[in-house]
Amino acid sequence: MKKRFSSLLPVFALLLPSCFYALAPVLKPQGLLSLLRPLGVNLGALLSWLFSLFPLPFSEICWLLLLPLGLYFCLLRPLFKKRPRAAMMRTLSALSAVFTLWSSVFLVQYSAPPLSSRLGLETYEYTKEELYSAARLLAEDLNEAAQSASRSQNGLYSPPSLENMLPEIRRSMKEGSLSSLIPAIMPAPAKSSFFLSKALAYLGITGYYFPLTGEQNVSACVAPASLAFTAAHETAHALGIGPEKEANFAAFLCCLESNDPDIVYSGLLNGYIYLNNSLYAEDPELWQSLYSSLSQSVRDDLAAKNAHYDQYEGPVREVGSAVNDAYIKATGQPQGVKSYGLVTDLIVCFYLSD
């Protein structure tokens, strides 16, 4: 009996933190969570530097190799063991360890105060006229930025590679409005997806943050117009900004405050899309007026972005969207994938706060 109890101790030791993190969104023990958040984000940064020694995204190795092996050894192999109960307890222990690490690095960040309060940005309910006013201001900035953006021979926006833009994205994060959110250890730079880019494209995923390795991954199939914005979005997650609308706003600010005109343009173009979609839902006539104010080069870039993602449309994207929606809701964001678009509220208040 004593031997059996001692064999269960590792399981209980791992189950306790797992249960704590699972219940944290409900219980909201803010005092303890405020201590765990900086520990988690710095742990993620340490992991990112450790796995930066691996030239390819190690997270993709996890998805392609370690996950199938883990499922086999944790779920299938125990069924054929002479002592399936002991094997299942080891499986439970392993799953608890993974969940605890995932939660310690990332899920705990969802309990942080709203990004708007941390940045001193006052948010409020706005009218559709105020939405239109903010969108007009952004459109003016967008038209101006389009004149300085790099372009290919066909006149479309053609930014530098991800590797060339990452140093400036990281500098803007550290020295701009988000500087107060930078942890003691700055995470390693984002990586470009190597094995899974096509799969991510068909799933409708442009990038992701993988807490188990601390890596920020950007799909190699992302549209040029979204490249810098997506990299900034995933970097924001690595800095401990959990909610999708807040990571979007952090990416918008990072791009807007950059010294690189290509990064500025990417941020404004993606910010415009979110405001544009919200305005269309409120008043199609105001939306048409806003769209008419765009320069031809901006319209061409928007059309090119839509055409780029249209080639990956299909049932696989619906599956990817459903899985992403379920994951986002599980983190405490009831709007699911629609939470990305809620960045509109922050951008509007940002533009009207001046």
Count of CB atoms situated within 10 Å of the CB of 121: 16
Sheet of strand 215-218: strand arrangement: 191-192, 215-218, 207-210
Q: How far apart are CA 142 and CA 71, in angstroms?
A: 48
Q: In this model, does residue 14 exceed pLDDT 60? A: no
Residues ≥6 apart with Cβ < 8 Å to 270: 225, 226, 229, 248, 251, 252, 255
What is the rounded average pLDDT of the residues 308-333?
81
* Bridge partners, 218 (sequence order): 192, 207
Which of 195, 221, 220, 219 is CA-nearest to residue 208? 219
Q: In this model, does residue 229 exceed pLDDT 90? A: yes
pLDDT of 106 reads 80
What are the tens digits of pLDDT across the range 252-302?
999 999 999 999 999 999 999 999 999 998 899 999 999 999 999 999 999
Q: How far apart are CA 118 and CA 90, in angstroms?
A: 42
**Tokens (6 digits) for 66:** 């370690």
Q: How far apart are CA 212 and CA 113, in angstroms?
A: 24
What are the tens digits of pLDDT across the range 96-146?
777 777 777 787 787 788 899 999 998 888 999 999 999 999 999 999 999
What is the rounded average pLDDT of the residues 223-234?
96
Residues ≥6 apart with Cβ < 8 Å to 7: 86, 89
What is the rounded average pLDDT of the residues 57-75?
76
pLDDT of 354 reads 64
pLDDT of 195 reads 87
Which helix or strand (DSSP H or E) is residue 248 part of? helix 244-256
Q: How confident is the model at residue 63 (pLDDT cuts 50, 70, 90)?
A: confident
What are the tens digits of pLDDT across the range 68-89?
776 666 666 666 666 666 666 6
What is the rounded average pLDDT of the residues 333-340?
72
Q: How far apart are CA 319 and CA 202, in angstroms?
A: 10
| b/e sequence 231-243, b meaning 16+ C-beta within 10 Å | bbbbbbbbbbbbb
Share of the chain above pLDDT 70, in %: 81
Measured CA distances, 311 to 221, 298, 317, 331 (Å): 11, 21, 11, 30
E strand map for the chain: 191-192, 207-210, 215-218
Mean pLDDT of the chain: 85
CB 98 within 8 A of CB 73: no
In degrees, rounded to 5, the angle at the alpha carbon of residue 260 between the alpha carbons of residues 183 and 352 is 75
Q: How far apart are CA 342 and CA 345, in angstroms?
A: 6
DSSP symbol at 122 = -
Q: Which residue has the higher pLDDT, 190 or 103?
A: 190
The reported pTM is: 0.88
Which helix or strand (DSSP H or E) is residue 84 part of? helix 84-105
Q: How confident is the model at residue 6 (pLDDT cuts 50, 70, 90)?
A: very low
